[in-house]
Amino acid sequence: MKTFKIVSIIGFIGFATISCSPERAAIVQGKSGVQLWSETCMRCHNTPSPADFNDADWSTIEMHMRVRANLTADESKKIFDFLRSAN
Amino acid sequence: MKRIILPILAMFFVGNIIAQQDLKPSKTQFMIRGYGSAGFQSLNDEGEKESSFNSGTFAPIMLFKFSDKFMFETEMEFAYENGELETALEYADVMYILNDYMTIRAGKFLLPFGTFMERLHPSWINKLSSVPLGFGHDGIVPSSGVGVELRGTFTVSGSKFNYAVYSTNGPKLNDGSMDPDEAGILHFDNYEDNNKNKSLGGRIGYLPFTDSSTEIGFSFLNSKVGNTESDYEKIGAKLIAYDFSFIKKVNPLAGIIDIKAQYNKSLVDDAEYFEPLDGGGFEEYTFNNTSNSFYAQLSYKPTMSASNFLKNIELVGRYSELNTPEGAEWESNVKQTAFGINYWLSWRSALKVNYQITDGTGGHGGGGIDKKLFTIQWAFGI
């Protein structure tokens, strides 16, 4: 169990270091609201369409989901700006 | 409790209707959402058959947004059981966004212990009509807690991390003085603390890929669990969980593949418990109080199909198991396999047809478990 723990911790740190790179940061930064919407919401449930709610409701949901789903400030702004612009 | 909750609920509904008639935009936003379910089940318990319709549950959620940083969320649950209306407060907490990386929550909140209870248990999200072994009633995992929590997220060069740390009243040890059959079990629903010690728990989640398709998480919860001024005062418990999630649109399969898994382990310090003997008196005994549970679920939805019918179909399979301590009155080793076909009527409403086989030893009767359950559930978000 101890060896398993040590190996998994080292593996985790190694993996984390490899997967973090400036190019990848630029990819994430460059994502549009539509793209983030199609990738993010389905992590937990089916993806709602922009027309499902009005602007006021989307902004309440924005805060609820930002906290519940641990969305970054940038992600949630882009996604919900898109949802409000397309409903 | 019911006498208080029902009028409050009625007030909120009326308030909402009045608020909607007033067309001036209001700074405080209020929303009622939630979910419910209704269904039919047919059970074959070691050859004994029974079947019934069940009215299921209704769980209204109210969200109050006071500003861009400040919000209150609450969920109540209503269920009709044994001819009586049962009510429960699932959560009621305030949250305040401190900055882009940190939010504070206080009150009764769903615990980020793994991901199932916090993210996946509502009936319109859960792809099967039952919860995996180890969760819910008779579970070994906490679902909510009363306390405070800091949570947030940050990115390190393209990889996302999220975290939560919380302190709550913590689990409570059943020392068997009231119900000897449950000696050694942890109870998680504690509005009031049974000791001065507060639990400390947390979770760290890591999304290695830029498309957020994969997340791995580790959670822990440490607490003293015995009653103050009892022989069990010093007894502590350590709980850990690992969770995994992968979800992606896979073009060659013309649909979405979704994998979810969680492993939970609970370690409670050794203690002496007492078993009442038939002729009066007690026998002292102890056991290694370690439990674990695991589930893995795979589902597939052919979202890219040309057929409107097939597009909304989803196939699900789930395996789960629960092992409670050898030597305990509640010792059990149970395995469960569940299959389902869902038809999604909307993004938040599904007709689920499930078949579930549970077998093993232990449980309340103490003997063998051999259950086959067929259910049809209509789950809907409102």
Q: What are phi and psi of B344, to 5 degrees?
A: -85, 115
- Which position has the token pair 């769903």? B110
The type of residue at B147 is: G
The pLDDT value given to residue B48: 84
Interchain contact, B158 vs A60, CB within 8 Å: no
> Chain B residues with CB inside 8 Å of A48's CB?
347-348
CA B233 to chain centre: 28
Mutating which of A43, A75, A84 best tests the B interface, going by the most B Cβ atoms within 10 A? A43
Q: Does domain B100-381 have CATH number 3.40.50.1100?
A: no
Q: What's the complex ipTM?
A: 0.87
Indicate the residue of A47, A64, A66 with minimum beta-carbon distance to B347. Answer: A47
pTM for the complete prediction?
0.90
Structural domains for chain A: 1-30 (no CATH), 31-87 (1.10.760)
Pairwise CB contact (< 8 Å): B212 & A44: no
Q: What percent of chain B has pLDDT over 70?
A: 91
Q: What are phi and psi of B159, to 5 degrees?
A: -105, 140
d(CA A21, CA B108): 39
CB contact B344 to A (< 8 Å): yes
> Number of C-alpha atoms within 13 angstroms, CB side, residue A27?
15
Among candidates A25, A59, A69 on the partner chain, residue whose Cβ is nearest the Cβ of B158: A25
Question: What are the residue boundaries of the structural domains of chain B, listed by start?
Answer: 1-34+59-99, 100-381
Partner residue opposite B158 with nearest CB, options A21, A39, A61: A21
Q: Is the pLDDT of residue B93 over 90?
A: yes
**Residue-wise pLDDT tens digits, B107-159:** 999 999 999 999 999 999 999 999 999 998 889 999 999 999 999 999 988 88
Of the candidates B294, B293, B295, the one whose C-alpha atom is nearest the C-alpha of residue B324 is B293
Nearest to B187 by CA among B240, B231, B237: B237
Consecutive H or E run containing B116: none
Q: Is B63 on the interface with A (CB under 8 A)?
A: yes
Considering only CB atoms, which chain B residues are within 8 Å of A21?
A: 157-158
* Tens of pLDDT, residues A28-72: 888 999 999 999 999 999 999 999 999 999 999 999 999 999 999
Partner-chain residue, chosen from A40, A49, A64, that has the shortest CB–CB distance to B63: A64
Q: In chain B, whose CA is at the least distance from the CA of A54?
A: B31
